[in-house]
A and B are shown apart, each in its own frame.
Chain A
Amino acid sequence: MPRVLRVLQVSKRFFLQDHRQRTLRGALTRLLIGRFSRSTSLWALRDVSFEVEHGKTFGIIGHNGAGKSTLLRLLCGLSRPTNGRIEVDGRISGILELGGGFNPNLTGRQNVMTAGILNGLTPSEVKAREQKIISFAELERFIDLPTRTYSTGMYLRLAFAAAMEFEPAVLVLDEVLAVGDERFQKKCMDRIAKLKQSGTTLIVTSHSPEQILSLCDEVLVLEEGRVVMQGDPQSALASYHDLLRQRTETRAASLEGKTDLSPLATEKGVRQGTLEASITAVHFYDHEDQPLEKLESGQGLRLTLTYRITPSINDLALLVGIYNETHVKCFEVSISSMASTFGALSPEGTITCTIKSLPLLAGQYFMNVGLYPTDWSFIYDYHWQMHPFHIYRPERERAQLSGVVAIEATWSSLK
């Protein structure tokens, strides 16, 4: 298979300067103090090498700050590597950050024209594709307004539609699949599938393991600017989760004795985390506020979760998932910032989650709950299989059921 992209021992160093605008005065001061004040540098990427074959979908994962964005920017030519080389065979086009790409003072139509010409099309070729782009982005009524008046969603829809219509050899998609409503996401996924079929090489990053699994042929795991591994999506995700655990353990070790939260005894299941924030109690109640250990399939459930945090923490991400006995995830919900959802956090508090109806088949289930920092880079406290509950089938049910979800099926027979 021909290689379409080659990244050879690429490194990128950034100089960290203070964030104030550089002025002549600053330069004169630096000159007087000496050049060494400038030399705090950060290697965002170190010796990264990989190759992507033509027509493959290549995923890049790593937690925030691992170098994903820097790498994508280098791939799109938005920055030059400090060392190493990047060879691209053909046109590379990407949707990266929101600011880049469109000029806010020009209309959507004018921006599409610029983007098309930048991608090597002639004005008449862009004109011919314009209508398709506008209708895919669903911006018929807004296309002649300046893009500064667009919402984030509108802006990205246009960027996405344009990037896909210009037929690049390599398309870089950075987390864009997380934007837009579900219907539009579905439309994008369909379009991406078509691009894959037509032989476009895709490079994607995503926080969603499901998307990585369903899209990618090969995945690269980055950690602190270095390649940890490159391989099939399954093993890459496993290695990514290992890194999360390692980071948590390293951090917990460095905090030893510094937190007053001693690990609670765990009767069953597995508990993991640095315990800077901890879940002190999890309770289930039925609709009459009675504590509950089992409930009928289809009935509702109220979950209360009591947490305690050390003073240095002012925001948390929360994860609640329902898993069955065979570790299949039946449902998961996450809140990426508790402070912005519930207001400022007190040192101790209780969160209530009401689930109207749990249409799951009878059996043993676990409520797995976790607290994370808002960038999900390690774990504060995660309870795996520590909070079980039972679901039993209603008496009236007669048929044999299997699967995950309890779907009501009505039977009749004509003789």
Chain B
Amino acid sequence: MSNSQVTRTMHLIWHLVKRDFQLRYAGSVLGFFWSLAVPLSQLLMLVFVFSRVIPLNIANFPVFVFTGLLPWSWFSSSLIASGGTFTTARDLLYHPNVHPAILVLVTVLAHLMTLLLSLPVLFWMLYWYDLDFPWLFLPAFPLLILVQAPLTAGLSFMIATANVFYRDVSQLIGIVVTLLFFLTPIWYAVPPTSDYTYLFEINPMSLIIQNYRLVLLDGRWLDWPSLMMASGMSVGMLAVGYFFHRHFQSDVIDAI
């Protein structure tokens, strides 16, 4: 790929990310602030239920929940949106310069924007609860993003492709994502002893969220073993997703 081709592809991706926002929030007054509405409303409800109704007695509970919700929202909203990545983008997919991988990347990046936009809220909460500013988070955050991105992209690739042939897939994903929400330690801490600890060890999102908390709440550096484990699964998922797509690529273009 020549240099100008790289810049052109970058322009294209950046434009398509902006376009994704334009399409999602066309005609609404608050615009992209709506993308913050989902994690914030979930936060309010979880904090109310688990600190007032059934207290879990976790220190700084709102910050605790939010550190889990941020990466989770990026993951879940990308997966849900990826059902339409190909089916609603006939106009783009028909274009010879658009590789399907670009569209998947755009979906994942567009939802990463939401996470980036929520960071000021997270920092404000840390300040509000009198927690030290986690300087280690600045170098750790890009690493955590790099671990989660291939996982999200790989799954999105598969969902986007499968949904072209079976519209049932996006319905199914809605259910799976809801179930996974409860199996991921977002509003609870991983119990130290349980018959089911393996559930949290094979769930890459659980490993990633625990690393977020290590840095943000405990002021410690990333836990390499669990992070390597998560990146392994993540890269594996990307490979599976990509080859799944490659196998059906020519059919996708004709079926859409």
Task: State whether these chains interact.
Answer: yes
Q: How far is the CB of A396 from chain B (nearest CB, A)?
A: 64
Cβ of B7: which chain A residues have Cβ within 8 Å of it? 122
Closest to A120 in B: B8
Is A76 a contact of B97 with CB atoms below 8 Å? no
Q: Which residues of B contact A103 (CB under 8 A)?
A: 19, 23, 91
The reply to whether A114 and B166 contact each other, CB–CB distance below 8 Å, is no
- Say whether A118 faces chain B, with CB atoms less than 8 Å apart: yes
- Assess whether A21 is in contact with B167, with CB atoms less than 8 Å apart: yes
Q: Is the CB of A118 within 8 A of B26?
A: no
Q: Does any Cβ of B come within 8 Å of A99's Cβ?
A: yes
User: 1/0 per position for B57-100, CB-CB distance to A under 8 A?
Assistant: 00000000000000000000000000000000011101111100
Taking CB atoms, residues of chain B closer than 8 Å to A100 are 90-91, 94
Chain B residue with the shortest CB-CB distance to A119: B97
Contact B250 A106 (CB under 8 A): no
Q: Pick from A22, A106, A113, A118: contact of B95, CB below 8 A.
A: A118
| A23-B167, A101-B91, A113-B15 given; A118·B22 CB < 8 A | no
Knowing A117-B15, A118-B12, A123-B11, the reply to whether A79 touches B167 (Cβ < 8 A) is no
Number of contacting residues on A, CB 8 A?
29
A77 within 8 A of B: yes
Chain A residues, Cβ within 8 Å of B92: 114, 118
Restricting to A3-28, which residues have a CB under 8 Å from any CB of B? Answer: 14, 21-24, 27
* Closest CB in chain A relative to B52 CB, distance in Å: 42
Which B residues lie within 8 Å of A101 (CB)? Answer: 91, 94
Choose one: B19, B26, B168, B253; the contact of A114 (CB below 8 Å): B19
Contacts A24-B166, A114-B15 given; does A120 touch B97 at CB 8 Å: yes
Q: Closest Cβ of chain A: how far from B206's Cβ, in Å?
A: 29
Name B1-43 residues within 8 Å CB distance of A. 7-8, 11-12, 15-16, 19, 22-23, 26
Which residues of chain B are within 8 angstroms of A308 by Cβ–Cβ distance?
Answer: none
B195 at the interface (CB under 8 A from A): no
Bound form: Cα–Cα A146–B92 in Å: 17
Chain A, residues 43-77, CB within 8 Å of chain B (1/0): the string is 00000000000000000000000000000000011
The reply on A102 being an interface residue by CB < 8 A is yes
**Contact of B19 with A106 in the complex, beta carbons under 8 Å:** yes
Given contacts A77-B96, A101-B91, A118-B12, contact A106 B22 (CB under 8 A): yes
Q: Mark B233-253, 1 if CB is under 8 A from A, else 0.
A: 000000000000000001001
Interface string of A108-152 (1 = CB under 8 A from B): 001001100111101100000000000000000000001000000
Complex CA distance for A102 and B89, rounded to whole angstroms: 10
Instruction: Name B250's contact: one of A76, A80, A120 (CB within 8 Å).
Output: A80
Whether the pair A80, B253 counts as a contact (CB closer than 8 A) is: yes
Q: Is A105 on the interface with B (CB-CB < 8 A)?
A: yes
Q: How far is the CB of B155 from chain A (nearest CB, A)?
A: 19
A residues within 8 A CB of B95? 77, 118
**26 A-B residue contacts at CB 8 Å?**
A14-B254, A22-B165, A22-B166, A23-B166, A23-B167, A24-B168, A27-B166, A76-B94, A76-B96, A78-B94, A78-B253, A79-B253, A80-B250, A100-B91, A100-B94, A102-B91, A103-B19, A105-B23, A106-B26, A110-B19, A114-B15, A114-B92, A117-B11, A118-B95, A119-B97, A123-B15
Known A22-B165, A76-B96; further 8 A-B contacts with Cβ < 8 A: A22-B166, A24-B168, A27-B166, A80-B253, A110-B22, A117-B11, A119-B97, A146-B26
**B interface residue numbers (CB < 8 A to A):** 7-8, 11-12, 15-16, 19, 22-23, 26, 90-92, 94-98, 165-168, 250, 253-255
Kindly list the 4 A-B residue pairs having the minimum CB-CB distance in the complex, ordered from nearest: A77-B96, A78-B94, A24-B168, A117-B15
